[in-house]
Each structure stands twice: as C-alpha cells, then as structure tokens.
Amino acid sequence: MCGIVGLYLKNPALESRIGELFAPMLVAMTDRGPDSAGFAIYGDEVSDEAIKLTLRHPDVNYDWAALASRVETDLGTGVQFFQNNNVAVFKIHSDVDSATALISEQTPEVLQLSAGRSIEILKEVGLPENIAQTFDLQGMKGSHIIGHTRMATESAVTMEGSHPFSTGEDLCLVHNGSFSNHNRMREELRRRGIHFETENDTEVAAGYLTWRLREGDSLNQALENGLKDFDGFYTLTIGTRDGFAVVRDPIACKPAVLAETDDYVAMASEYQALTTLPGIENARVWEPEPATIYVWERSQPTGQPA
C-alpha cells in the first residue's frame, strides 16, 4: 500500500502554518502505511553561495557542534546548524560536493538525508503520528512539503528504506506502488555514476530523475522519459526547490486525489487525508489522469497538466 501526501502553498500567508496543516494529512494515511514515515519540507532557503544539508546520527546526543567546528576549520568557511531530535540541519558557505565529501570522510556514521538550498528531509521507522511528534512537524514553516507513510513490500522496514528519497539537490520523491525493473535500472544508473544507498525500488526512481535532470531534461521531460522507462505500479510525487509534481503510471493502479483552492494545491492517496484543510469543502477535487504529468512550480504557476 503506502500513503502519499503533498501540500503546495499558493498563498504565502499560510507558510507559517504549513506544519500544522500538513501533520494531520500525514497521520490520516497511517492505515495505508504504519511501518515508517517521512517528509521533505521546503523553505528557509539559504543564499546562492551556501548550501543546506540534513544530517542524521543514530545517537540523539551526538555532538553536532563538534562536527560543525570541524567543517568550519577544514573548509575555512562559516557553518550554522540547528538540531531536531537525531537530525541536524547544517547551513554551510560551500558547495554540496565539498561539504558532502568532507562529512562522509570525517564521520561515516553520519547519514546525509538531503542536500540543496531549500530541502530538509526527516524520516524514521514507526507510526506517522510518532514521527510527526519526534520532529515537531506541527511547528514547521515552509512553502511546500511532501510526505509518505510506508507499508513495505519491496525491501525491509528500515530508516534508510523510508521515503522521501533524495538523490539530487533539492529533489526528492515519494512513491506508492512497486517497480518491477528496479534491479536492472539500478545497475544501469550505477554505470552512469548515480550513487545508491539501499536496495529500495523507489530510490532507483529518484536516481533515474537525478540522472535525467543531469542530462539536461526539464522536470517534465525527465518524468516523460520515466513514463517510458519505469516498469511497475506507481503514483509518484516529486518535490523540487520551486514546487511539486504528480504522476501516475498508465494503468493508474495506485490511487491519487488532488485538491486546489486559491490558497493551495494538495495531493493525497485518499481524500480522507485532505479533509482537515481549510476550505476543502469548496475546493476543486479531482483524480489525476493516468500517464499525465501535473506540475506546480513558482516558475510555472499555471499548474495544470504540463
């Protein structure tokens, strides 16, 4: 099964409330995915000269300050960080490659969950409600957010196998369904230099999009190519720095509902997850068509099938 939820705010006045609006959406999908949950929130963007990393250490008492000063010394640059449970968000005046290389070399036990200028990914094994509490999702601010509740089918229930998956800067993916050709595709993508952390099928789809975008595809073109190359059942929601996209496989086995008002666009596996949103009674509610790409981005405000 699995549940997917996404919320993209058109009205900036709601940005301070995104966590409060989104947490009940994630929790509403517990029946579809009680194994693990996670979300990617976009906002609190750093400047073009800086980057933001979400880092995780299994020990909640891990000395992040020590890591921050080591990074400052070695890169000779300023580092700011804040801790959220066993995760820390580092803001570094550097580029992603240098910072990532340094951190993985210095502290291999620290796992990088996301990298970019806007994205922060938080995910854990357990019930969505517990995960929302662990990371104080309710209090978060941002422009858009996508989340996932997992019922594992293709690989083990682990934090690493939880969604969202991110293999590129500010790009992440959540998935309901299963890919049949992920093993072969993973091998092909590895040969093209894409790095994978797990044996999970969804990570392969994220890696595929990273590869296509690197090759110069727009998000829309990357997803068009994905429709040709992915074999399996999928409803995907993709987060980007500027917005989000939704696509279903041509057979549309996995559910998806979209709702739009003047204030937001919301996506969920089931309408149940949308019922707590303000003004949902009068929202335009519809199901995305199979094999059709829907994109909402600040640079592409029209929104409709791209």
| Closer residue to other proteins (CB): 24 or 147 | 24
Contact residues for other proteins, defined by CB under 8 A: 251-252, 255, 270-275, 281, 285-287, 290
Query: What is the chain's Cα-based Rg?
Result: 18
Nearest-approach distance from CB 271 to other proteins, in angstroms: 4
Task: Indicate if 172 belongs to the active site.
Answer: no
| Closer residue to other proteins (CB): 82 or 286 | 286
> Would you say 32 and 2 are in contact if contact means Cβ atoms under 8 Å apart?
yes
Nearest-approach distance from CB 19 to other proteins, in angstroms: 21
Nearest-approach distance from CB 255 to other proteins, in angstroms: 7
User: Phi then psi for 211, rounded to 5 degrees?
Assistant: -60, -50
Hey, what are 267's tokens? 């996506």
Task: Count the neighbouring beta carbons within 10 Å of the beta carbon of residue 109.
Answer: 10
Torsion over CA: 125, 130, 134, 139 (sign): positive
| Closer residue to other proteins (CB): 1 or 9 | 1
CB-hemisphere CA count at 13 Å for 164?
33
Q: Give whole-number Cα distances, 201 to 107, 152, 196, 230, in Å.
A: 27, 11, 10, 11
Q: Give the active site residue among 2, 53, 67, 283.
A: 2
| Closer residue to other proteins (CB): 126 or 290 | 290
Active site residue ranges: 2
